[in-house]
A and B are shown apart, each in its own frame.
Chain A
Amino acid sequence: MVANINEIQSAAAALLNEGKVKLVLGYRVRGNDRVPAFVTQADQVGCLAYDSACTQNLAAYLRKGEVRSRMPLAVVARPEVMRSLMLLTAESQIAEGQVTVLAVDEQGFHGVLDLAGTAKLLNEQYARIAPDSSLMEQLAKIEAMTPQERSAFWSEQFEPCTRCYACRAACPGCFCERCIVEMNTPQWISTAAESHGNFAWHMIRAFHQAGRCVECGACQDACPQGIPLMLLNHFIAREVEREFDARSGYDPQAEPVIGSWKQDDKQEYIR
């Protein structure tokens, strides 16, 4: 548990007592696990916990009606979760005044912030979250594969997928009320938990997250089958960084990378 956990708890209690928020969304310990906590009374804040095992991205709850109805609310947010909040702001899912951030990282609690303050903190303190070297090695291996090898590699990764959509449920960026896989006129993506359907689902979800994914890892953690989804998401995030010099979640007013167009966009790939 981070050293100043009681500071998080006090800050949460103060926000509730002062009526600044109606709900504090955080984490609590249950047995060996860390699970989401929904604290609505100041005398319950003692359950709030934070350590490196708290990996769920709580920003995903901001699309849930039962949570939204309790805005304004506060979220215990580590840098990736803060980035999700920036994305949701940029995409008009939340607005200043609805969400207060209880900023945390591995060292502990760093204060109560509004969304503007969160943006500032992210750009000052967490601007260069570097992916770890073993990940970069794995990505390099995939990059060195031929298209046929890559296809075989990804087909093998997706074979255990049961189409439970835990990845989608865990992702703050997946807030569509009706997901593409739920459309049936036409049925864009096969719903069968089989090779071609699984391939299409994961590729399309990864592409729908391109330029939006904050690489929090919640999807991979949520996957019951242990599919290495972050390899795909990191791969695409590096592409986006290379091609558009953009990383998601640092600017609450950013225009969507893939979804917007400018006159001076590169065009040399059009041959």
Chain B
Amino acid sequence: MTMTQQEPAMSNLYQPTVMRIASARDEAPEIRTFRLEFTDDQYKQDFYKKYRVGMFGLYGLPGAGESTFCVASPPTRTDYIECTFRRTGRVTAALQDREAGQTITFRGPYGNSFPIDQWKGRNIIFIAGGIALPPVRSVIWNVLDRRSEFGKVTIVYGARTVADLVYKDELAQWEAMDDVELITTVDPGGETADWKGKIGFVPTVVKDSAPSPEDCVAVVCGPPIMIKFTLPVLTDLGFAAGDIFTTLENRMKCGIGKCGRCNVGSLYVCKDGPVFTVEQVGKMPQGDL
């Protein structure tokens, strides 16, 4: 299992670069997507040399601080990067108060990545819940941008209510693709009158759709309770723990394996992760997750 390691970085390793917000879009209540453009060409070049899907960055506003989110757009898109995040505290509130045309800071890319080159020719099932779609969406577009290299693509995505679904227009795009199977769902009670998708919790919907584990990898990301109930479904269907990938969202600060905050066992989520197989997660001290 190779998880790509990036080379040691720049001088003054805490110095961020400045990004301009090209556009901002509200996905759902308190959840916003920024499309960001690099203002420093050298930083941009260095970024794309290293960036593989799954890596994260530290997005910040001087005076407020920095916050960790995945890079929600794939490396196949080189005019911009995107991040999608919820307003939860001091830094995310300050970031969401920024508008298109204004700037924020960025440090990255950090962490390891999904080994999608090893998935060539294989089928992929993407399973995500709520605000956890962004890291998965990054991989989905990476795969779709290189569609012919991969087999069957299935996406199962659910949220509490219709309003909470993120990337609504992209869901429509995936729905319209002949070579993608999309299943969307909302929790019981979360549907609207004109909702055409399924109604039910993501683990149940996955079980009902009974994806074949044959030559298939799974990418799963969601709130802890969703993961807790989805993994046994996949195991029962015959998926191997080494073929199920997830990304951990621990509390991180420095992003580069020094401050100690994301330390789980002998691993640093910011360096050895955030992408792990379920097999690897199973070997971690569960009480620290």
A residues lining the B interface (CB < 8 Å): 184-187
Q: How far is the CB of B61 from chain A (nearest CB, A)?
A: 14
Interface residues of B in 122-156 (CB under 8 A from A): none
Is chain A's interface secondary structure helix, strand, loop, or mixed overall?
loop
Interface residues of B in 160-174 (CB under 8 A from A): none
Total of A-B residue pairs, C-beta within 8 Å: 7
Q: Taking the complex as formed, is B207 at the interface, i.e. its CB lies under 8 A from any CB of chain A?
A: no
For the complex of A and B, the 3 pairs showing the least CB-CB separation, nearest first, are A185-B90, A184-B90, A185-B89
Interface residues of B in 193-207 (CB under 8 A from A): none
Q: Convert B78-91 into 0s and 1s, putting 1 for each residue whose CB lies closer than 8 angstroms to a CB of A.
A: 00000000000110
Q: Quick one: closest B residue to A187, CB to CB?
A: B90
Chain A residues, CB < 8 A from B89:
184-185
Q: List 7 A-B contacts (CB under 8 A).
A: A184-B89, A184-B90, A185-B89, A185-B90, A185-B93, A186-B90, A187-B90
Q: Quick one: closest B residue to A184, CB to CB?
A: B90
Chain B residues, CB < 8 A from A185:
89-90, 93
Q: Quick one: closest B residue to A183, CB to CB?
A: B90
Q: Convert B91-112 into 0s and 1s, putting 1 for each residue whose CB lies closer than 8 angstroms to a CB of A.
A: 0010000000000000000000
Q: How far is the CA of A71 from the CA of B285 in the complex (A)?
A: 31
Q: How far is the CB of A180 from chain B (nearest CB, A)?
A: 15
Q: How far is the CA of A184 from the CA of B93 in the complex (A)?
A: 12
Of the candidates A185, A186, A187, the one having the most CB atoms from chain B within 10 angstroms of its own CB is A185
Q: How far is the CA of A186 from the CA of B90 in the complex (A)?
A: 8
Q: How far is the CA of A187 from the CA of B93 in the complex (A)?
A: 14
Q: How far is the CA of A187 from the CA of B89 in the complex (A)?
A: 12
Q: How far is the CB of A263 from chain B (nearest CB, A)?
A: 40
Interface residues of B in 55-92 (CB under 8 A from A): 89-90
Q: How far is the CB of B44 from chain A (nearest CB, A)?
A: 32
Q: How far is the CB of A81 from chain B (nearest CB, A)?
A: 34
Q: How far is the CB of A186 from chain B (nearest CB, A)?
A: 8
Q: How far is the CB of A135 from chain B (nearest CB, A)?
A: 41
Q: How far is the CA of A184 from the CA of B90 in the complex (A)?
A: 7
Q: How far is the CA of A247 from the CA of B138 in the complex (A)?
A: 63
Q: How far is the CB of B94 from chain A (nearest CB, A)?
A: 10
Q: How far is the CB of A157 from chain B (nearest CB, A)?
A: 30
Q: How far is the CB of B163 from chain A (nearest CB, A)?
A: 25
Q: How far is the CA of A185 from the CA of B97 in the complex (A)?
A: 15
Q: How far is the CB of A120 from chain B (nearest CB, A)?
A: 47
Chain B residues, CB < 8 A from A187:
90
Q: How far is the CA of A185 from the CA of B89 in the complex (A)?
A: 8
Q: Quick one: closest B residue to A185, CB to CB?
A: B90
Q: How far is the CA of A48 from the CA of B81 in the complex (A)?
A: 64
Q: Quick one: closest B residue to A186, CB to CB?
A: B90
Chain B residues, CB < 8 A from A186:
90
Q: How far is the CB of B90 from chain A (nearest CB, A)?
A: 5
Q: How far is the CB of A239 from chain B (nearest CB, A)?
A: 35
Q: How far is the CB of A226 from chain B (nearest CB, A)?
A: 28
Q: How far is the CA of A184 from the CA of B64 in the complex (A)?
A: 9
